[in-house]
Amino acid sequence: MNENRKKLKSLLLEVFMLNEDEFHFDLKKTDIATWDSLGVVSMAVGIQETFGYHFAPEQAVGIASVSDIIEILTEKGIRFDE
């Protein structure tokens, strides 16, 4: 697995207290009960610490899936290719 994918997976497991077997990269916000408003803040801070990218608050709230995170970070030049 690509190093950035590993980092993102590890971060999201931690932020949302997920079990490893529950995680996949197609997860949507609606699949994760702990993806609440405070979880969004925590995720945004975690992404900044891990990838150095700062989400604007409205951008963070608009994220609806793990794919959305990858898409935004890819646009900023962070590679998630397999």
Partner 1 sequence: MQILKFPALHQNLESTRAGLEGLRAAWREKESLILVQEPASVDSAWFDRTLGQVDAAFPEGCFALLTSGSTGAPKLVVGLKSRAEALAHVIHEHQSLEVVQTTVSSLPFTYSYCLVNQWIWSNVFGRPLIPTAGLADPEGWAETLDRSPASMVCLVGSQVSLMRRYFSPGRRFPEVIRVNFAGGVFPAGDLDYLRDLFPRADIYNNFGCTEALPRLTIRKIETVEDAAILGRPLPGVEMHVAEGGALHFRSPYGALAVADAQGLRSFGVGEWIPTGDVGESAGENLWRIVGRGNEVFKRFGEKISLQVIGDALRQVWKRSFAFYLEEEKDGQWGHVLVVAPRPSEMELRGIFGVFREKFRRPHWPVRIESVDDIPFLANGKPDAKSLASLEGKTVVWKQYR
10 in contact with partner 1 (CB under 8 A): no
Segment interacting with partner 1, rule: CB under 8 A, options 23-31, 41-49, 52-60, 66-74: 41-49
61 in contact with partner 1 (CB under 8 A): no
14 in contact with partner 1 (CB under 8 A): yes
Nearest in space to 79 (alpha carbons), one of 54, 55, 57, 51: 51
Nearest in space to 25 (alpha carbons), one of 46, 41, 9, 7: 9
30 in contact with partner 1 (CB under 8 A): no
38 in contact with partner 1 (CB under 8 A): yes
Q: Report the alpha-carbon angle 13-73-12, nearest 5.
A: 5
